[in-house]
Chain A
Amino acid sequence: MSGRPVISTAGLTKRFGRVVAVDHVDLDVPAGVRFGLLGPNGSGKTTLVRMLLGLVHATSGGATVLGEPMPRRASTVLPQVGALVEGPAAWGHLSGRANLRLLDAAGPGGRRRTRRARVADALERVGLGGIDRRPVRAYSLGMRQRLGIAAALLRAPRLLLLDEPTNGLDPRGIHEIRDLLVALNEAGTTVVLSSHLLAEVEVLCTRVGVMDAGRLVLADDLDALRAPTGRIRVRTPDPGAALALLDGRVEAHDGGMLTVRGDDPAELNAMLVGAGVPVDALDRERRTLEEVVLEVTGSGSDRFDGRGPGTGRHA
């Protein structure tokens, strides 16, 4: 969880004509984290990822990846990066195995001698070890997704940049990929994934960044974002008695569920039980990632509600 940032951007901006897709983003991703890039559709996540990979050229500002400026040092940086950008792709007329071999042969950093073994290993890791000679054209969406992740893993990258890595996978597949990413991360790979599936990011990532209308509106450790709010949630079958006892500390109540100011659940529990109020459940209130994200992002996304640029842009 320490070390020099693997990704660092300063004032990174991209305009497409009149649309500002990415607006002065200063992002630091420390080495070794699992970073989740969140934001509504059209908030600039994919454009940001494309700029980090040198596919899209910044209008202004700069980025360094693995300590080297991009896209100037792309030829030294990119062999150490595995990427899945906006969905997997493959040459449809070839088998998955042939796809990986040809892609590996196309660029630097993949030794020919180890190619066969590396391809077999990558396919094995994503659960495609038994694929046959069928062309990719005949693959299901989930198989393509796994193949795309295998392609990103081919050269044991130091940094994985994955856009929606679990798209198209069934629950078991999602679980497998999550385990794979955690294992890779624990072996030292920094994982950056962009997603709009908050639950996915919440269970997988250690740090999140939130984009809205092209700006990075939040970047923090997940633990810090989900720190206790200073309130305790109490469930009781006798809310009337609890209200009477805690009057003034109760901020809200809804049936048997009370939200009470306070930092110490044990103290509150003792107090309620001591007064003879039965307690079903009691816990510190934490904000969900969804609440955090909804709080910092506008309604902007793929809605067109005419509230001006930035909130009504096309995705």
Chain B
Amino acid sequence: MIGTELALMLRRRRVWLCWALLCLLPTVVAVLLATTRLAPPPGSGGAFLSAVLSDGQLFPAAALALVLPVFLPITVAIVSGDAVAGEASAGMLRYLLVRPVGRLRLLVAKLVSVAAFTLLAVVFVTVTSYVVGVLAFGVGPGAEIGGAGTITSLSGATLTPLQLVGRTAGTVGYLALCMLTLGAVGIFFSTLTDSPLAAALGVLAVVVTSAALQPLDAAEAVRTFLPTQHWLAWIDLFRDPPLLDAVRTGVEVQLGWIVVAFGAAWANFTTKDVTS
């Protein structure tokens, strides 16, 4: 079922459109920055945006910071909300279940395909923005094209290319995990309704709620458990030496959400009457 699910995902035009749009936004930003050379001053604007003018190799980090708050959650909401509800509304859910595909196996396959989607989304954004960044801004002083040379970290010290690759890979994994949290919530909502749109909007409602609670002092007690709270923790990976505390907490919270949301999805779906 997992193979079938991945094949289905990779053959959906909607999925490729999501990926293309995700890569498009950073590209537009890069083109605008490169033609105007008007970077936001340090400390304002998106993370890393002020630094990319001097070194295009930092652009993947800036690009991830650009798509993270809205674009990425929207695409993950669309794809995960479609997981079960999409099959139900297309009428395929009943045929998959009588094939028979076990209900837990179906959910696991959906989770794996959503995970593949988020990971590929983050990877695609990283790769295209690296290429675009280097093309638009060149590499930093003392560095040569091809990555030989050094990149300035947020703390002012320099990173070797190997360190940069390692930290970017860590960022990719971390963000994919953060998005998988939304994916698991989306799969849960997707088992509650036969409408993919309703499930996707439910995910976005969770994101908005979490983001709205985040700055509230009154929400202090629950802040650590908000899914969006740790989304920017990966920035610490670009400090020297990298700060891992926030990332570690973030990973724990995201894993907790995934377990709870997936467990809820399973509990609901396993006894559900499929009448679609």
The yes or no verdict on A and B being binding partners is yes
Q: Is A83 a contact of B98 with CB atoms below 8 Å?
A: yes
Contact B102 A75 (CB under 8 A): yes
Inter-subunit contact B90/A57 (CB<8 Å): no
Of the four ranges (under 10, 10 to 19, 20 to 34, 35 or more), the interface on chain B belongs to: 20 to 34
Give chain A residues whose Cβ lies under 8 Å from the Cβ of B275: 50, 55-56
- Flag B99-130 by CB within 8 Å of A: 1 or 0 each: 11110000000000000000000000000000
Tell which of A104-112, A220-228, A279-287, A306-314 binds the partner: A104-112
Q: Which A residues touch B97, using CB under 8 A?
A: 53-55
B100 touches A74 (CB 8 A): yes
Asked whether A106 and B4 contact (CB < 8 A) given A87-B91, A93-B12, the answer is yes
Smallest Cβ-Cβ distance to A82: which chain B residue: B98
Interface assignment of B71: CB less than 8 Å from any CB of chain A: no
Mask of B122-143 contacts with A, CB within 8 angstroms, 1/0: 0000000000000000000000
B208 → A minimal CB distance (Å): 31
Beta-carbon nearest neighbor of A55 in chain B: B274
Question: Could you tell me if B13 and A75 are in contact, using CB atoms closer than 8 angstroms?
Answer: no
Q: Write out, one digit per residue, whether chain A residues 68-90 have a CB within 8 A of any chain B CB (1) or not (0).
A: 00000011001101010111111
Q: Report how many residues on chain A are interfacial, defined by Cβ distance under 8 Å.
A: 31
**Known contacts A90-B92, A91-B8, A105-B4: A85-B273 contact under CB 8 Å:** no
Q: Tell me, in angstroms, the Cα distance from A28 to B97 when the chains sit together.
A: 24
Q: Is B94 close to A, CB under 8 A?
A: yes
Q: Is B157 an interface residue (CB 8 A)?
A: no
Residue of B with least CB distance to A58: B273
Chain B positions 1 through 25: 1 when the CB is less than 8 Å from some CB of chain A, otherwise 0: 1011101100111000000000000
B residues less than 8 Å from A151 (CB atoms): 95
Q: Of the candidates A55, A75, A90, A108, which one forms a contact with B94 in the assembled complex, judged by CB atoms under 8 Å apart?
A: A55
Chain B residues, CB < 8 A from A79: 100
Are the C-beta atoms of A57 and B271 separated by less than 8 Å? yes
Of A105, A106, A108, most buried by chain B (CB within 10 Å of CB) is: A106
CB <8 Å contact, A107 and B8? no
A78-B98, A89-B95 given; name 10 further pairs at CB < 8 Å: A53-B98, A55-B274, A56-B273, A79-B100, A83-B95, A89-B90, A90-B90, A94-B11, A98-B11, A106-B4
A-B contact pairs, 29 of them (CB 8 A): A16-B273, A53-B97, A54-B98, A54-B100, A55-B97, A56-B273, A56-B275, A75-B102, A78-B98, A85-B98, A87-B91, A89-B92, A89-B95, A90-B90, A91-B92, A92-B90, A93-B11, A93-B12, A93-B13, A102-B4, A102-B8, A103-B99, A105-B3, A106-B1, A106-B5, A106-B99, A107-B96, A107-B100, A108-B100
